[in-house]
Amino acid sequence: MEFAERVYRAVERIPKGMVATYGQIAELIGCPGGARAVGNALHINPYAPHDDGNDSKHTRTVPCHRVVAADGNVADNFGCGGPAVHRRRLESEGVTFLPGTDRVDLTRHGIIIESHPLEPFLPQNGQILFLGSFPPPKFRWSMDFFYPNWVNDFWRIQGLLHFGDPHHFESVTEAKHFDRARIIDFCNTKGLAFFDTASKVCRLKGNASDEFLEILEPSNVQQMLSVMPYCKTIVTTGGKSTEELGKILGTPDTSPDIGGYMDLECHGRSIRWWRMPSSSRAYPMPLARKAGYYGRIIPE
């Protein structure tokens, strides 16, 4: 695929009300340092929005106005009407600017590219490797460990399954926090390992939704398995992690059904791959029913 088309496809993913920098688009398409080339491709964008707002004239629209300079400035040489038009289009989509400047407020409207904030948790006796997609933004965390979001029910599912109490891993000293020390002790005892299927991502929106998560670097599953000789079970928790693990394992068109498994060879090792429903409350399934699915893994 030619460079310009890769640029246009990346820009098409930027949601209304958000912006990316030229450098971020270059990184998204695997060309770090290519900000100037991205600018050149967008300057001749044949699918640019019409200034009259009637984009129905196009069979395709590439919203090049959603790309700005590294400091948030609109482009002096914006190819579709100049900086005033660039700013007007962004403001019409709800984008705000820093007072007295032509710089977009990137803290509110900028996409985010980030590397995984946690090291893999891989106990030597690890027997089951849980893989999610990627942690939520850190301001949502209730502890420094996997599945940290207070409104994510992963640890309530484990509490219900192993102790008959969904609140077992909730902290008794801090409101709306999980007890990290108790969780780590439990995982070491049970041989449970954790990481995610992505080690570097782009958040197209500043939330925890997988819908707006672009995976830039998949995780090295082979390396994780190499330090856990007893691990023969991998569990993906949700659709995004399942989709990405299929790509990592070379089976992009085949994956287990929810609550089911498939057996395969993974780097010379026989692995049973289970797919579980997302433990996020955004996934429409009662806690007890989710626990019923997760309980199928326990005999492993």
Q: From residue 135, give the alpha-carbon distance in Å to each of 33, 258, 281.
A: 27, 21, 15
By CB atoms closer than 10 A (0-12, 13-18, 19+), residue 210 is buried
How high is the pLDDT of residue 56? 52
Catalytic residue among 31, 64, 187, 231: 64
Task: Spell out, as residue ranges, where the chain has pLDDT lower than 50.
Answer: none
Beta strand 233-237 pairing with 192-196: unpaired
How high is the pLDDT of residue 219? 97
Q: What is the pLDDT of residues 154-190, one digit of tens each?
A: 999 999 999 999 999 999 999 999 999 999 999 999 9
How high is the pLDDT of residue 247? 94
Q: What is the pLDDT of residues 210-244, one digit of tens each?
A: 888 889 999 999 999 999 999 999 999 999 999 99
The two three-digit tokens of residue 213, written as one number = 């998560």
How high is the pLDDT of residue 79? 57
- Give the separation between CA 32 and CA 164, rounded to whole angstroms: 50
3-state secondary structure of 140: helix
What is the H or E stretch that residue 89 is in? helix 83-92
How high is the pLDDT of residue 227? 95
Provide the b/e sequence for 109-146 (b: ≥16 CB within 10 Å): bbbbbeebeeebbbbeebebbbbbbbbbeeeebbbebb
How high is the pLDDT of residue 58? 59
Look up 202 and say whether it is catalytic: no
Q: What is the mean pLDDT of the chain?
A: 91
How high is the pLDDT of residue 205? 82
How high is the pLDDT of residue 162? 97
